A and B are shown apart, each in its own frame.
Chain A
Amino acid sequence: DAGVIQSPRHEVTEMGQEVTLRCKPISGHNSLFWYRQTMMRGLELLIYFNNNVPIDDSGMPEDRFSAKMPNASFSTLKIQPSEPRDSAVYFCASSHRGFDTGELFFGEGSRLTVL
């Protein structure tokens, strides 16, 4: 079975450009999470959705960041305009809310470099 699929795997862009990261969760999962990983701050939860509805976006750094989940099989994280401090690895994870384990299944991440 396919796991969580993220694209692109690597993105290099210049400051001020728009960046869109994409995620396809595991089929049947009803919760989706976006995390950001940096050396300094570790793994930070940015936003999560349950049944395609944003539940908590308190981790989104600022208005330059936005996330959508138009359907159960697709989500995007957009940064506009991008800044060098946004350079990080962005992970998408999905889970089946209601299961006892609470296990998150992570994608392989999108490494973003903003010059």
Chain B
Amino acid sequence: QQQVKQSPQSLIVQKGGISIINCAYENTAFDYFPWYQQFPGKGPALLIAIRPDVSEKKEGRFTISFNKSAKQFSLHIMDSQPGDSATYFCAASPGGGADGLTFGKGTHLIIQP
């Protein structure tokens, strides 16, 4: 599987601040870039996803920024809340994700009240 590199490994943000997680990929065939959120004891769940035909996608407080030329994408969480404390995984796939996803190693996010 082609690698997806994610950083930082862990992140502490004050309540109300902006959380930023970055990912980089190598395979130019990737055309689907989702972010998954995982709470302790649970499986990952889709948070937001983007395709390379747009540079940004926003859903509520969550925004994906995508830079095709740099092969990088990032997740921004605005007005971060304690309930956002979780592990976040970026992922990538060719073919819209039909053949499974290659995940980054995850970012453990803690929002301090």
**Chain A residues engaging chain B, CB cutoff 8 angstroms:** 4, 31, 33, 41-45, 48, 55-56, 59, 91, 93, 95, 97-98, 100-109
Q: With the chains together, A4 CA to B96 CA distance in Å?
A: 21
Partner of B99, one of A42, A56, A91, A103: A56
Partner of B106, one of A33, A42, A102: A42
**Chain B residues engaging chain A, CB cutoff 8 angstroms:** 1, 32, 34, 41-46, 49, 89, 93, 95-106
Residue of A nearest to B106 (CB): A42
Establish whether residues A93 and B46, one from each chain, have CB atoms under 8 Å apart when the complex forms. no
Total number of residue pairs linking A and B with CB closer than 8 Å: 64
Q: With the chains together, A6 CA to B40 CA distance in Å?
A: 16
Q: Which residues of A contact B101 (CB under 8 A)?
A: 45, 102, 104
Establish whether residues A103 and B103, one from each chain, have CB atoms under 8 Å apart when the complex forms. no
Residue of A nearest to B103 (CB): A43
Q: With the chains together, A10 CA to B102 CA distance in Å?
A: 25
Residue of A nearest to B43 (CB): A106
Q: Which residues of A contact B49 (CB under 8 A)?
A: 101-103
Q: With the chains together, A43 CA to B36 CA distance in Å?
A: 11
Q: Which residues of A contact B96 (CB under 8 A)?
A: 100-102
Q: With the chains together, A106 CA to B37 CA distance in Å?
A: 11
B49 to chain A, nearest CB (A): 7
Asked if A43 meets B89 with Cβ closer than 8 Å, knowing A31-B98, A59-B1, A104-B101, the reply is yes
Question: Which of A100, A103, A107 has the most C-beta atoms of chain B within 10 angstroms of its own C-beta?
Answer: A103
